[in-house]
Amino acid sequence: MSAPTFTSAQEPLPLQKKRSIVLVGLMGVGKSSIGKALAKRLHLPFVDSDAVIESNAGKTISEIFDTHGEEWFRRREYETIRDLLAGEALVLATGGGAFEDARIRACTRQYGISIWLQAPLKTLAERLARRGFERRPLLREGEPRAVLKKLMKRREPFYETADIITQSRSIPKPAVVENILEALEKLALKRRDNPLPANPLSGFEQVHIPLGGRSYDIMIGEGLLSRAGEFLQPFLKRPKVAVVADETVAEKHQDTLLESLKRKQIDAHVIPVPSGEASKSFEQLQKLIEQLLENRIERGDMLIAFGGGVVGDLAGCAAGLALRGIDFVQIPTTLLAQVDSSVGGKTGINVPQGKNLVGVFHQPRLVLADTSLLKTLPARHLMAGYAEVAKYALIGDLPLFNWLEARGKDIIAGDPAALRQAIWSSCSAKAAIVAADEHEAGVRALLNLGHSFGHALEHAAGYGDRLLHGEAVAIGMSLAFGFSCHLGLCAQEDVERVRAHLDGVGLPTSLHGLDFPVDGKTLGDAMLHDKKNKDGKLTLILAHGIGRCFRAEGVDLQQVSDFLDMAGQKSQ
């Protein structure tokens, strides 16, 4: 009998407090039968989300797919699971594809404990064959076993982020339930040791990055900076930190941070860094490390990255190298940094050959995303950060893109609720991807949508204010969808929809209007230095449609260069 395995905790779990149990896994794994038995033992109600959707629609799942399509079903699936988890504790069996939705994973982290029921492909195929493949809409799209194998490969990275992983093969059902009960008890005890406060202030959101011993949390909300000392104190071995601060940010917000640290008797040494992409250099990295060492920083000390993506990348890289690695905390002050660069542990500097080509993977201990800091962010930089928000929707979340079409201008206008929702959705999506692929060996590459084109544009622009990173990514995403359409991979209407949305919030989407020369050869040559390339061939993130991106290897450079020349001519 296989013992369950565990991922790390996302928040303290008092034993007396009941949380919902959410069963995830492929169709046929036994979520309903095991869920009913588990609910009985836990004295909780059992609910099957598919059954609720069927009851509300007055149709079977197959009929819903035939009548309304999968997109309609996925929207109802998210709304149903969200509402169920926000209520009283229960045992919930979800559909096989539910955990692909970043919002459902985030709701589960907030309100419940997720359990992935595993079973071999052969076992699942045999079970489903006995019940009739025709009852499963997705299995009608091809040879059932081949489709099931494809679904397993696509969904397992998301299932792997579950709190508990256990087997459901031919093991008798009572034994599976006992395994789960034992795992729940161990998880509850384990979560007592989480260093974050058990009851964060009302109004804060929390997203967990489950990476075993490198796990950490992202806190989202207004007023976090004024409480930074309280959140950092549990991580400190001695009351001393080094603050690497963007010069512009320091002028506006440094006093708030230092006062917060002072209230907790934490000594802070501030190291200012010039604003701008030019600071991501070997020269600045060496200078920063030397200042840390001159200040007698120790391996057990903490470094705080206080600024946008430039400071986060630079300080994180310095933290990973100094004394062979010291802890650091991210306090991102731009929208782009709060939704993307501060999360995931990718650090680095630029070199003449390209952007972020030198660096290390070094995870922070905590991320504090204070949304009130965005009130002083210039409008252009807020729009640039929005490009990364849109990226998460485009790579794998069509419902999120639909929401952005409705609320995108509110986010750009600084609406607090819309901003908070956008940051939470983005961080939740990235958390799941990073947990599944920390070092970018697979699914994490999707986060580079638009970046191969975008980095080439930044290189051509000289890495400065002529073209901000988010602006380059917006153009890059438009080019990626356009190139996908050029190859016959996605519809022109998807390309137009992407461009219309980005245009609508004020982001650039074409090569027209750039104040520096661009052509297919120049951009193509720059793209050859991309980290994702293999054997001298381009690796790009392309799309079958909105929310359906994939990694394409071995892309012909000449074909890309010709497309870029054509795109440049059309933009004139």
Q: Which residues are catalytic?
A: 324, 346, 388, 430, 440, 444, 448, 451, 455, 469
Using CB atoms within 10 Å of the CB of residue 3, give its burial: 0 to 12 exposed, 13 to 18 middle, 19+ buried.
Answer: exposed
SS3 12: coil
Strands (E), 460-546: 538-543
Contact 456, 356 (CB under 8 A): no
Contact 434, 345 (CB under 8 A): yes
**Rounded Cα gap, residues 504 and 390, in angstroms:** 12
**Rounded Cα gap, residues 33 and 46, in angstroms:** 10
Structure tokens at 79: 């709304």
Contact 458, 508 (CB under 8 A): no
Structure tokens at 549: 């991106």
Angle, nearest 10°, between helix axes 469-486 and 557-571? Answer: 110
Tell me which residue of 74, 76, 39, 75 sits closest to 55, measured CA to CA.
Answer: 76
Helices (DSSP H) in 86-221: which residue ranges?
102-111, 121-131, 144-159, 173-190
**Rounded Cα gap, residues 331 and 217, in angstroms:** 12
**Rounded Cα gap, residues 90 and 111, in angstroms:** 10
**Rounded Cα gap, residues 273 and 287, in angstroms:** 10
